[in-house]
Amino acid sequence: MILKYFDTAHLSHVVEELFYLSFDENDIPFESTVLPISCISITHIYGKNQSAVFKKQKTVLNGLIITGQFYESYQFLVNSKGHSYGISFHPTAIYKLTKTDVSKLTEKHLPLSDVSKILHDLIKPIFIRYQDDIPKLTKTLKKIFLSLPLVKNNTIDQIDKAIDFIRVKEGMLNTYELLDHVSFSQKTLETQFKKIVGLTPGKYIRLNRFLKLMRKYEGKEIGLKDLIYMYNYYDHSHFAKDFKYFMKQSPKEYFNSEHPFLNEYLNK
């Protein structure tokens, strides 16, 4: 398995990650847990026999796919060699690009053409033309996404401010604290955040806290016990409850087994 990331420094307001993933015959069959990453992504699957399983429902992944926000992990399966190229977007970017209520994409993998035919028809030829030239594909996609018009209004600006604050606090806050950073009511915050980002503020906060802790642990920055305390979990059982919710297994089961795909992602 090869997982590569490409620089998005000038694109971070729209695109946060550009990545290439490939599998050869030695990797097959491949199965891994995929941790929700608090953003929406678009991926072109060039290989065959790839699928995702969420809550016992299997979705075949083929061609140009958009993946909505997930609040729980899902299983990713690959049964033949091939590669894919993906784009992970800033949490508000898909709404800005398509005017789509992104809550309708939550916990789903869908053909991009079903969500935005305009965006599909724009980028599909690029993925096809440069499928064997990853540097050219990366350069062209960067150019395209820098040039696309974005929907802008005060509500989106307020949600962006809320997201920035959540990230600065590394998820260690509650939804009431967000009200000091936006100019509308809690009910409006809940409704608009879910429409523009895909998750409620509370779920987004909880997921971001867990992701930050896992990144620090995998990066060997600090021990797990200290991280549990640092990220305001009451005790180990509180952390274990969150862990099992997000990962579908206990911390003991996870840390006693190998997770090359997750390790690559969390250590990037």
Mean confidence (pLDDT) of the chain: 90
Residues 143 and 190 in one domain: no
Residues 131 and 9 in one domain: yes
Residues 142 and 165 in one domain: no
- Evaluated on CA atoms 173, 179, 181, 187, the torsion sign reads positive
If phi over 0 gives left and psi between -120 and 50 gives alpha, with beta otherwise, what is residue 248?
left
Instruction: Provide the domain count of the chain.
Output: 2
Residues 180 and 215 in one domain: yes
Give me the domain span that covers residue 143: 2-147
- The residues pairing with 3 across neighbouring beta strands, listed in sequence order, are 21
- What is the pTM (predicted TM-score) of this model? 0.91
CA distance 17 to 180: 30
Give the residue from 147, 175, 202 where a domain finishes. 147
C-alpha distances (whole Å) from 62 to each of 84, 109, 141, 191 are 10, 10, 20, 32
Q: What is the CATH number of the domain that holds 203?
A: 1.10.10.60
Q: What is the CATH number of the domain that holds 113?
A: 2.60.120.10
Residues 90 and 200 in one domain: no
CA distance 234 to 239: 8
CA distance 187 to 179: 10
Per-residue pLDDT reduced to its tens digit, 50-103:
999 999 999 999 999 999 999 988 999 999 999 999 999 999 999 999 999 999
Residues 103 and 172 in one domain: no
Give the residue from 121, 147, 173 where a domain finishes. 147
Per-residue pLDDT reduced to its tens digit, 17-41:
999 999 999 999 999 888 888 899 9
CA distance 106 to 197: 9
